[in-house]
Structure 1
Amino acid sequence: MREDELDALLRELRAVKTDHQAVEAKRAAKALPDSTHETLSAFANSEGGTLILGVDERSGEFVVTGVVSARQTQSDLQSLCALMEPPLRATIDLVDHSDGTVVVARIPAVPRSQRPCHLASLPAEDGSFVRVGDGDQRLTADEVRSMLAASGTADHSAIAAPAGSELDQRAVDGFLSVVRSLSSRNNSLDDAALLRRWRVVDDQGEPSLAGALTVGESPQSRCAAARVTYRVLPRTTDPVGTRHSGRHLEGTVGELLDDAVALLRADLGQVQAVREGEVVDVPPVPLEAIREYVSNALVHRSLAPHLRDRHVLIEVSEDAVVIASPGNLFTSTDPELLGLSPISGVRNLTLVRISEQLRSPRGARIVENQTSGIEAADRACHIEGTMPALFIDRPDSFQVLVPRGVMDTRVAHTAVGGGLGSHPADLTRLLTVATRLDELRTVYPELGAVVFDAALAARSLAPCTIETASARLSDLEAAGALRRLTARRRPVWAPVPVLPNNVGATTMPSKRTRDRVPDLIAAIVAAPDGVLTPRQIGDALGLTSPTSRNRWITRARDKGLIRPTSDNPFDPTIAYKVTSAGVHILDRAHPSASRRPRPTGR
């Protein structure tokens, strides 16, 4: 690493005044800090990262202080990397900075099949860490077990179902009819032999776990995996004390899939979108994508012994649908290529094979597009103008976050003006996705591990190659709409913030967290009748996230600057007017807006 590259990296850290997911700075003036092995483990068990020694990170200034014995520190760090299990092959450079010599180590992520990485002299349960935001977090015993389980090849769905489990004979007959039609060789086997071949039952004729979950008789009475927890979270504008509504779904995989999709269809409702010049009602998330991710959670969840009693969780908020399945991503799957390349292996082979031959009670296939389902979901999101799903791989769970709502690309289009080149639709969509990801991080801190790179860009433009997506990102960077970050091990981009000023214009704010209340008031005053709905306020402020939008509405309302048109907070037609106090604030913040005609507020 060169001195100018180090300075660029430190500038990124100073901008946020803290370490982050991919970079850790330590003073380390005379020796390696005692916690160094924790950072090595955390980076190795995550997506890798950069360790900088000889930089004082206190107070967020990231001042270069240098290392007294740089070569000795470099040697000590190499030795410590060799003492990890598995050993780490880090790239360790000495950077002669004008303020002192700095040791910079790039720590690779270890293969998922070899995790957890830890100091060999410590048990895995005591010495394994993972990177969370700007810190190293010790893995729990369950998280260590999940990593070890994911690194194996055992098919936990093929084991015997809990004692007392029974099969539904009608469902079994339907399954047998389908598999006999697949090959003439299956017709030579009697029912018992065919069920054993497909591992619906074990060699003793008892139901397997996969058999119980797919063609079982009330499997929820014996298997916790035959349940789903479903929650609808309160909105940010709901009265204080409003609790989430929840329920438990029970049944076979097919029944759970049908019931979950039906509930999501009802709870998500419809939004308005422009299609071929006409305003039409569409779901805020393509149902094809929702069905794909619910199906994946039910079929590909971990059934390892310590996770077998956990349920799949579905949570619906104003911003997204989050589908969390027990167990982290299967080791043969590259999380960076999800949706971009076929999946080469599956965790529950028996459960998947049986599910491929079945249909749900409503007649839909349980498993569709086995090798390209995520790509099909991404394509549906692209067609409908919504954001692709975001993946969060944690040590003991895999979460799919599906953002809600058709994205408004008008702010992105204004931001880059006429510099869109020959691919305006692609570029405005990519910039809108990058901006929405930044907004969602304020609501879901765990998205700090999700980056806007060429892979996510390619998924946003599905079908699209990484090479084409990289070219589009370079175009946006050249137009000044995106900036490239150097703190990651691969190219990552972030939006250059462009926010609405007064009414209609866009400016570069000096701070990303500036007060938006004056802009909110100005937008309401500028409306023809002096009234705006929450969605119209979000459009005026360039905020696609309902949570971000409602945060500013709540702040303005609590200060007495705006008032609702209805006393019922659940009224779907609720809108907001400016009060006299809001007019006073507007006069001070936006003098030009104060000269416009405006309605009388109280």
Structure 2
Amino acid sequence: MRPADLQDIVDAVRTAGTDTATVEVKSGGGGVGKSLWPTISAFSNTHGGVVILGLDEATGFTPAPGFDARRVLNQMADVARPRSGSEPAGPLTPTPAMSVDQMEVDGASVVVAEVEELPAAEKPCFVTAQGKERGTYMRVGDGDHRLDTYSVFQLSVLTVPSNADREPVMQARIDDLDSSLIARTVARLRASRPRALDGTSSERDVLERVGVVDRDTGVPTLGGLLALGRFPQQFFPQLMISFASYPGGSKDVIVGDERMDDRAVLEGSIPDMIDDAVSVVMRNLRVRRVSKGAGAQDVPEIPIDAIREAIANAVTHRDYSELARGDQVRVELYPDRLEVHSPGGLWGGRDVESIFDGQSRSRNQLLARLLTEVPFADRNETVGENAGSGIPRMLGEMTQNGLPAPRFQSTPASFVTVLDRFGLLNPETREWLDSLGGRQRTTIGDNALALIHHLGSVTVDDLRRQLAIDTTVAQAALTDLVSEGIVRNERGTFELTPEAESGTELTPTQRKIVDALSHGGTMTVHELAESLHTPVSTLRPALRTLVSAGKVHATAPPTSKNRAYRI
């Protein structure tokens, strides 16, 4: 790390007044204490980070008196050194990948450790004395969060294919499989994969060959039952899809007397569950009439193919191990978005940034292959292609229809796909763009500004992915907005300038917020959402603008759960 980089980090934590998701500062007055081990575990298991020893948070991150940099440097170097097989384990297992150096801040010596994220195959890194199950941490905000048993298990098998879909279901019989679906699937297999069936003389032989039936026991496998079963939930009640439509921006918001607008439990084989889940989502979406040729058609808020891909990915790639069989795939609809929750994090040693590359990696290899051959009940189409095309297709469907790109959130225990219900350039956003006045307007520039207005900030890569444009085009668009004084570049993150945030006139949403707060009360964003019947995601950018313009006062920092607003 260069001295200038260290100074930038120190300046940032001094400004924030606290540690961050990637920076931990400790005084180190008594040397390296045990309290540091969870932090290094968390950085190793999350996205890496920087530990600075020798600055005192209590005095505004100024040099700590009496700090012995040489002693601490030696202690940290011992933590990072490789150990032979005959040596006892160090304080962390496996040994973290980190570099340690002595540097200066304000003329005083400090020790800086740069911790790298461990490769997926080496995770989890845990505090040796606490053991793997109780000593594995991840970084959440500025704190170290100890993982539960299931999350630790998921971190441990990030690159290990699951055998859960191959397990025989001992309570089941072949009669529990759908005979008509079997016949159609076997016919497809004979046409598409004739070599795979060489030497088979009966339908039973085919089912054993492709893993629908376990050869040793003669009973259906879990994957076979899920793909071809009449009613798999007879044996696994929670391996279904639940649907709920909520009236507010989160589950805890109640509008009137309604906690839910609609709910459903979708059961049956995977193809049937997907079809039924898509249908129940569609009946809760608004549609608009669009002219097409000599006629017209109804176009839903979210493209149906994007919804189908999100749900199909969830049920195909979820965790089916015993620890996860008590959890279902959850499809949740809010006024501004659709969320699809799948048990088990992103598998295969990948991160969210890499899943747009079109590679196919399957936690459940047998099930994923079966679902390329098992047709839907009413058509010859199958659930998937097992070719890594699902995410790119979802991206294309959303962006081609003027919607933000799919968003993904991954933890060791779950994977969430978020599809927004509204286009970037909705009437309120267009009104805000018009209020910015005299600038050279372009479609990409307007879309970029709308994204920043909606998300708070973007990087070049965010813009490239969200708008499905080249990196050079995204960079040029953001550079133009910076040169016009509408956007500022904060170390690669682009956000609106205060002047652009404030605009010239209050938008309708801003005006509603000001009116709601004008009686002298204090309200959280969720209270405002309930009072104004407006999604939280619509209120947040409006509140940022009002706070930046000084028209509304926030009672706590943006990261605080207690943040509320008043005039």
Q: Same-fold call, TM > 0.5?
A: yes
* Aligned residue number for residue 337 of structure 1: 354
TM value normalised by structure 1: 0.75
Q: Which one of 305, 311, 315 corresponds to residue 298 of structure 1?
A: 315
1:360 and 2:387 equivalent?
no
For the residues of structure 2 that align with 1:146 and 1:242, how far apart are their CA atoms?
36
Letter in 1 for 2:200: L
Pair 100,496 (structure 1): closer, same or farther in 2 beyond 3 Å:
farther
Match among 246, 252, 258 for residue 242 of structure 1: 258
Supply the AA of the counterpart residue of 1:77. Answer: M
Match of 1:101 among 109, 112, 126: 109
Q: What residue in structure 2 maps to residue 319 of structure 1? A: 336
RMSD between superposed Cα atoms in Å: 3.7
Per-residue deviation, 1:50: 2.1
Distance in 1 (CA, whole Å) between partners of 2:452 and 2:66 is 38
SS in 1 for 2:134: helix
Q: What are the Cα deviations for residues 310-336 of structure 1, in whole angstroms up to 9, with x where unaligned?
A: 111111112321111111111243432
Do residues 80 (structure 1) and 79 (structure 2) align? Answer: yes
Q: Which amino acid aligns with 1:227?
A: M
Any conservation in 1 of the 2:290–2:299 contact (CA below 8 Å)? yes
Summarize the Cα distance change of 1:545–1:428 in structure 2 as closer, same or farther, 3 Å threshold. same
Gaps of 5+ in 1: 439-450, 506-513, 523-533, 553-584, 590-602
Counterpart residue type for residue 439 of structure 2: G
1:206 deviates by 1.3
Partner Cα separation in structure 2 for residue 92 and residue 434 of structure 1: 37
Q: Hey, what does 1:389 align to over in structure 2?
A: 406
Distance 1:336 1:17, change over 3 A: same
SS of structure 2 residue aligned to 1:103: strand
Distance 1:50 1:181 in 2: 57
- Between the aligned partners of 1:345 and 1:104, the Cα distance in structure 2 is 37
Cα distance in 2, alignment partners of residues 49 and 415 from structure 1:
38
C-alpha distance in structure 2 between counterparts of 1:91 and 1:301, whole Å: 36
Q: Decide whether aligned partners of structure 1 residues 484 and 549 sit closer, same or farther in structure 2, where only a CA change above 3 A counts.
A: closer
| Partner residue, 2:463 | 457
Quote the residue 2:283 is aligned against: 266
- What pairs up with 1:201-216 in 2 under 5 angstroms? 201-203=213-215, 204-216=217-229
Does the 8 Å CA contact 1:434/1:494 hold for their aligned counterparts? yes
**CA contact 2:372–2:386 (8 Å) conserved in 1:** no
Q: Deviations over 1:57-84 (max 9, x none)?
A: 349x544547722233233223223433
Structure 2 counterpart of 1:376: 393
2:241 is equivalent to residue 228 of structure 1: yes
Shift of 1:494: 4.2
What is the aligned partner in structure 2 of residue 181 from structure 1? Answer: 191
Matches of residues 62-77 of structure 1 in structure 2 within 5 Å? 62-65=61-64, 68-77=67-76
CA distance in 2, matches of 1:206, 1:162: 6
Question: 1:418 is matched by which residue type in structure 2?
Answer: R
My pick for the range that moved more, 352-361 or 403-412, is 403-412
Percent of aligned positions that are identical: 25
Deviations 1:181-215 (A, max 9, x none): 01443365222222112111111331111110011
Partner of 1:197: 209
Amino acid at match of 2:177: L
SS of match in other structure, 1:261: helix
Counterpart residue identity of residue 435, structure 1: H
**Structure 2: distance between partners of 1:457 and 1:66:** 46
Measure, in 1, the Cα distance between the counterparts of 2:465 and 2:227. 31
Judging changes above 3 Å, is the alpha-carbon distance between structure 1 residues 251 and 321 closer, same or farther for their aligned structure 2 residues?
Answer: same
Report how many aligned residue pairs link the two structures: 507
Give 5+ residue unaligned stretches, structure 2.
82-89, 519-528, 545-565
1:114 partnered with 2:114: no
Deviation string 1:556-575 (CA, Å, 9 cap, x unpaired) is xxxxxxxxxxxxxxxxxxxx
Partner Cα distance (2:44, 2:291) in 1: 46
* More displaced stretch, 18-27 vs 252-261: 18-27
Once residues 415 and 37 of structure 1 are traced to their aligned partners in structure 2, the CA distance between those partners, rounded to angstroms, is 49
1:146 to 154, 161, 184: 154
Moved more, 256-265 or 179-188: 179-188
Contact 2:335-2:421 within 8 A present in 1 as well: yes
Q: Aligned-pair distance for 1:294? A: 0.6
Is the Cα–Cα contact under 8 Å of residues 146 and 327 in structure 1 kept in the other structure? Answer: yes
Offset of residue 355 of structure 1: 0.4
* Residue 86 of structure 1: how far off its partner (Å): 2.3
- The question of whether the paired residues in 2 share the 8 Å contact of 1:387 and 1:460 is answered with yes
